[in-house]
Structure 1
Amino acid sequence: MSIPTRHFDALIIGAGGAGLNAALQLATADIHVAVVSKVFPTRSHTVAAQGGVNAALANVLPDNWHWHMFDTVKGSDYLGDQDAIEFMCREAIPTVYELEHAGVPFSRLDNGKIYQRPFGGQSQDFGGDQAARTCAAADRTGHAILHTLYQQNIRAKTHFFDEFFALDLVRDKEGIICGALVLEIETGEPLLIEATATLLATGGCGQIFRTTSNAHINTGDGCAMTLRAGVPLMDMEFYQFHPTGIAGKGMLITEGVRGEGGFLVNKDGERFMERYAPRAKDLASRDVVARSIVTEVKEGRGAGENGDYIYLKLEHLGADVIEKRLPGIRESSRIFAGADPVREPIPVFPTAHYQMGGIPTDRFGRVVIPAKYGAEEVISGLYAAGECACASVHGANRLGGNSLLDILVFGRLAGKDIIEYVRANPHRRETDPVSLEQAMARLTRWERKGEGVPAHQLRAEFRKCMEDHAGVFRTEEVMAEGYQKLSELRERFKDARLGDQSKVFNTARIEALELENLIDVGLAVAVSALHRKESRGAHSRPDYPKRDDVNWMKHSLYYRDGDRMDYKRVRTKPLTVESFPPAERTY
């Protein structure tokens, strides 16, 4: 069949903070760039980021990028690439000022400088007082940044393909990535977009879990596309559960609530975090707080009729502070928890929030795969940035406020590197018909008629299985059982069918395509977790309770082919520890 084709210098899949910041660099350099997004750009998940973006501006308390770097390395449980972390923390300061000049309406101090609040895992010095490093626009920082970047892209005349779903990457006859096959959701018709360089900025995969703070669009599309292209995913066992999701719902209650002075209590009104993190208390690292909450509930100190959550108290802050600095949290709590935080505590419990692993990249956003002798091979023309990518700045656990920073810094750097790549490779590449046919097969398989398993039923079973077998605490027995169930679900998926095979705005077909991505990425998480026999950061195994730097100070690589793990050829560069050698991680 003949498929309509468009040609661009650069193709960006995903219109969140990473994609839009990269696009802005390209468009302002007169590079012909297209941005594909399955939702309107300002509905991308960056809009949900609440608390702020980290940068050592020292507007409130003394601070320095070295302290920011130390906190990030410590937060990563010493698995992060210290070279990349240093680069990110140094770039944080000019990045925030660039955003300010672009028009981001940050909250202000009385002296006019950007307002900064304390966040979890921050220290003023090496083990000292809590810093105030997180630059905030009330509790809607991601919203402010995303809208500003979108407006700047409109000014720069970036070409947007709104409500288009990326089916798969395509290659030319030499095997080089040369764009993607996408599907227009409104019409159900495919479109081939060819480009010299392709950037994946598709965000996270929180929808692999039943209870999550992530939007419905976070289905791991970019990670799944790279797996199908033969690229491994790195460190997928490290999945962060944010400690304060609205109990039973999963909607996020920002860490900024605790940064402003809120605190957690159990059913007895006890501030239990003093037991688990005597110094940092409620502002310990997220993995520490999440495990503490689950432990309180498991040991019978949970609140509510079923004892299955704890309380987040902030009524002592007063209505004025809450309305000025946490207006969105008050609104969310009223709607989804039925609690007005001005008068009563919010019921909270950990919710699936963020993937630390992803597509392996260098600090310029170039996708890399391991080569011999610990070296890296750059995949020509393919880039990744944001939550779907793993430049190894988060290691085993991400600090709050470093996610917005990650997408902005590395989205910007990827954009700048793509400019050089496009100028060095001016000749257009044409898609290999075999590659295009393989990409089309993802779509045409849903045209099969007859009896089969309903796709939506499989999706519900899959997400429950992930939540039950790859949650906050993991053991060999639980994860092995989960892997068996997930493997069976993958086999049943081959016989999945759609009841509605119409084309126009068929959201059931989009969800079925997403389900294939979810299964691939979910298995990457489950298999990686099963193989790592230690506790490190967000990966907590009661059967291996200690961090094992002798045997496991290394990254994991998961290959879709045969659910294969690779540790022998994993790159060694991210394990640089010269600046801050591994130490016991306490708060």
Structure 2
Amino acid sequence: QMGFRHVGRLDANPLHLRLLCHQWPTVLQTGTRGFHFTVDGNKRASAKVSDSISAQYPVVDHEFDAVVVGAGGAGLRAAFGLSEAGFNTACVTKLFPIRSHTVAVQGGINAALGNMEEDNWRWHFYDTVKGSNWLGDQDAIHYMTEQAPAAVVELENYGMPFSRTEDGKIYQRAFGGQSLKFGKGGQAHRCCCVADRTGHSLLHTLYGRSLRYDTSYFVEYFALDLLMENGECHGVIALCIEDGSIHRIRAKNTVVVTGVPTSAHTSTSDGTAMITRAGLPCQDLEFVQFHPTAIYGAGCLITEGCRGEGGILINSQGERFMERYAPVARDLASRDVVSRSMTLEIREGRGCGPEKDHVYLQLHHLPPEQLATRLPGISETAMIFAGVDVTKEPIPVLPTVHNMGGIPTNYKGQVLRHVNGQDQIVPGLYACGEAACASVHGANRLGANSLLDLVVFGRACALSIEESCRPGDKVPPIKPNKVRAWTHSGVSSWLHTWPCTGFVFLKIDLGGCRCSLKSSVPWKNYRDRNMSKMGPSWAPFQTRAFPAQATPSPLYNVCPPPQPAVLQ
């Protein structure tokens, strides 16, 4: 572990920081040279090598009050919130923090500030509940929307350079699915933004803020599994990507903030996988959202902010077709409405291009200075990935898959399991950000509620831990074999098992809409993985571990038999 008092000046060049690490004296008696540093260096987290588990694969032990897995927007907010409260905190991340996928968010962050017209958090609450198709958890939505104005003001105080109005207030643009006076007052301007690079600005602001606090960062460490003991979480097992060493990070509290599996190749939903392997459920995975506007052929998202600034969707006949499907909101209807409308236009033969398989997003009717100041990133993205000059021609767009669902939590960020029909808190385990499902988004997320979700519930996790624990509380012991499956013998066993016997056979009965899986791998091969025998409907990886018999998935049993027209 290495102390850096001036690490902030190195944040733009992680390679430079890594090279400097080897020039500083180390206090870790581990033999590993992983990229692990403490921002301030006033505290020293205990670390020792244990060879009692495997002589071929020694394990490095660490102990903290709390460990945060992930360093995106929610992870950084939770980590420095805990450090600010005096907790000895570790942050495990497979990427340098400013490379996390929060950096790619374009549109903005919703809050009822009322800078453009009168607004109220209750109207924001109504829009979010309605946008979720009435399937969001209203206590969590209440908390998020009520805390939204304070969260944005907090970011402003941290130095986030929001776009401004002429009188110096935070600029707020229109966004899809937003209204005033419970849907009766017209379009709301509720989305605070930094041009069209809001996520980039937010992530760098939170990272800069985190450098003020004494937090131990395990950068380029891959989280493998949760340390579960008697239904409680006592930390995480991580792999140092640089040298392959295994690290057992014990902590009284663990916060999973690993994001979702869409967009960047680095976004692999590792937290959801860890939760699944621990025998805990996930929620709302059956929901699939489609973002209306992605560049045709490339899949890069084009923010709803384009339509909030005055952009319009047109078909091959030059019609502003959204007037047919949403006469009031038009191009600023919610994402599900716009995506369905675009798809109907294409299916009815009014699509654009030689194949008539997309529509156009038109921006060239907007003043060039507005495009340059409010949408500079979109102008650049359209030129790179579509070869389009947005000041002269439209962007070809098509709906694309977006993420929904995740680890079930309450509004305090505490992970839940379902026992005897009741929600039960998993002691020591928290989740927030897009890895979690509070569920403030229900079946359909409103644009610009994602960043709000990150900062509000990242802070909520830190506050919840502060309420229930004290810095320095004793970390419960764990069994030594909790890491065995990730050492030499455990990995070798898996490598020998899967290529030979781990084949899974899929049988689909379209008439009954059933799905069955078979595996020739006996259950005993999986006991070391600490996987519970839960139902197969939510855990595809776990389903493969069941005995060799056909097991209908309850997830498919609830589907009605498909109609001939659908099959056709």
TM-score, structure 2 length as denominator?
0.79
Gaps of 5+ in 2: 1-53, 524-537, 545-551
Match of 1:56 among 112, 125, 131: 112
1:451 and 1:364 map into 2 onto residues whose CA distance is: 40
Q: Which has the higher contact order (CA 8 A, sep 6+)?
A: 1
Is residue 423 from structure 1 mapped to residue 470 from structure 2 by the alignment?
yes
Q: Is the 8 A contact 2:414 2:430 kept in 1?
A: yes
Greater alpha carbon shift after TM alignment, 290-299 vs 146-155: 290-299
Q: Is the 8 A contact 1:244 1:252 kept in 2?
A: yes
What are the within-5 Å matches in structure 2 for residues 169-568 of structure 1?
A: 169-172=226-229, 174-206=230-262, 214-355=263-404, 357-372=405-420, 374-423=421-470, 426-440=473-487, 444-445=491-492, 448=495, 452=499, 477=510, 480=513, 487=517, 520=541, 530=556, 533=559
1:345 and 1:160 map into 2 onto residues whose CA distance is: 44
Q: Secondary structure at the match of 2:224?
A: strand
Greater alpha carbon shift after TM alignment, 390-399 vs 122-131: 122-131
2:447 and 2:542 map into 1 onto residues whose CA distance is: 23
Cα offsets for 1:21-71 (capped at 9, x unmatched): 111111111211111111111111111111000000000011101110000
Q: Is the 8 A contact 1:27 1:158 kept in 2?
A: yes
TM-superposed CA distance for 1:190, in Å, is 1.5
2:490 and 2:257 map into 1 onto residues whose CA distance is: 22
Cα offsets for 1:348-389 (capped at 9, x unmatched): 11112221x1111111100111233x4321110000001111
Cα offsets for 1:537-560 (capped at 9, x unmatched): xxxx99999xxxxxxxxxxxxxxx
Corresponding residue for residue 160 of structure 1: 217
Match of 2:196 among 100, 125, 139: 139
Is residue 27 from structure 1 mapped to residue 83 from structure 2 by the alignment?
yes
Is residue 47 from structure 1 mapped to residue 103 from structure 2 by the alignment?
yes
1:129 and 1:409 map into 2 onto residues whose CA distance is: 27
Q: Secondary structure at the match of 2:403?
A: strand
TM-superposed CA distance for 1:340, in Å, is 1.3
Cα offsets for 1:152-180 (capped at 9, x unmatched): 111113211111111111124x4421111
TM-superposed CA distance for 1:307, in Å, is 1.6
Corresponding residue for residue 563 of structure 1: none
Gaps of 5+ in 1: 207-213, 459-464, 470-475, 495-516, 535-540, 546-587
2:543 and 2:439 map into 1 onto residues whose CA distance is: 20
Match of 1:8 among 38, 60, 64: 64
1:58 and 1:479 map into 2 onto residues whose CA distance is: 52
Give 1 or 2: higher helix fraction.
Answer: 1
1:276 and 1:478 map into 2 onto residues whose CA distance is: 33
Q: Is the 8 A contact 1:196 1:425 kept in 2?
A: no
CA pair 479-300 structure 1, distance change in 2 beyond 3 A: farther
TM-superposed CA distance for 1:420, in Å, is 3.0
TM-superposed CA distance for 1:529, in Å, is 6.7
Greater alpha carbon shift after TM alignment, 427-436 vs 11-20: 427-436
Identity of aligned residues (%): 49
2:148 and 2:489 map into 1 onto residues whose CA distance is: 40
TM-superposed CA distance for 1:185, in Å, is 1.1
Q: Is the 8 A contact 2:87 2:471 kept in 1?
A: no
Q: Is the 8 A contact 1:359 1:388 kept in 2?
A: yes
- RMSD after superposition: 3.2
2:121 and 2:225 map into 1 onto residues whose CA distance is: 39
1:428 and 1:163 map into 2 onto residues whose CA distance is: 25
2:473 and 2:319 map into 1 onto residues whose CA distance is: 64
* Matched AA of 2:444: N
1:73 and 1:269 map into 2 onto residues whose CA distance is: 34
Q: Secondary structure at the match of 1:178?
A: strand
Cα offsets for 1:421-461 (capped at 9, x unmatched): 331881122232232224548971598379959x9xx9xxx
Give 1 or 2: higher strand fraction.
Answer: 2
CA pair 117-167 structure 1, distance change in 2 beyond 3 A: same
Q: Is the 8 A contact 2:151 2:456 kept in 1?
A: yes
Q: Secondary structure at the match of 1:348?
A: strand
Which has the larger Rg?
2
Q: Is the 8 A contact 1:223 1:521 kept in 2?
A: no
Is residue 80 from structure 1 mapped to residue 122 from structure 2 by the alignment?
no
1:479 and 1:82 map into 2 onto residues whose CA distance is: 35
Cα offsets for 1:100-130 (capped at 9, x unmatched): 0011110001111101000000012222310
CA pair 193-238 structure 1, distance change in 2 beyond 3 A: same
2:227 and 2:238 map into 1 onto residues whose CA distance is: 10
1:397 and 1:478 map into 2 onto residues whose CA distance is: 29
Cα offsets for 1:172-215 (capped at 9, x unmatched): 4x442111111111112221111110000011122xxxxxxx11
* Matched AA of 1:44: S
1:441 and 1:251 map into 2 onto residues whose CA distance is: 40
1:275 and 1:311 map into 2 onto residues whose CA distance is: 16
Cα offsets for 1:137-166 (capped at 9, x unmatched): 100111111111111111113211111111
Cα offsets for 1:280-304 (capped at 9, x unmatched): 1111110111111122222222111
CA pair 434-91 structure 1, distance change in 2 beyond 3 A: same
Q: Secondary structure at the match of 2:143?
A: helix
Corresponding residue for residue 176 of structure 2: 120
1:171 and 1:112 map into 2 onto residues whose CA distance is: 51
Corresponding residue for residue 151 of structure 2: 95
1:267 and 1:157 map into 2 onto residues whose CA distance is: 57
1:73 and 1:126 map into 2 onto residues whose CA distance is: 11
CA pair 24-166 structure 1, distance change in 2 beyond 3 A: same
Q: Is the 8 A contact 2:140 2:439 kept in 1?
A: yes
1:235 and 1:543 map into 2 onto residues whose CA distance is: 28
TM-score, structure 1 length as denominator?
0.77
Q: Secondary structure at the match of 1:160?
A: strand
CA pair 30-424 structure 1, distance change in 2 beyond 3 A: closer
1:491 and 1:255 map into 2 onto residues whose CA distance is: 48
CA pair 187-242 structure 1, distance change in 2 beyond 3 A: same
Cα offsets for 1:491-528 (capped at 9, x unmatched): 89x9xxxxxxxxxxxxxxxxxxxxxx9964999xx978
2:372 and 2:79 map into 1 onto residues whose CA distance is: 35
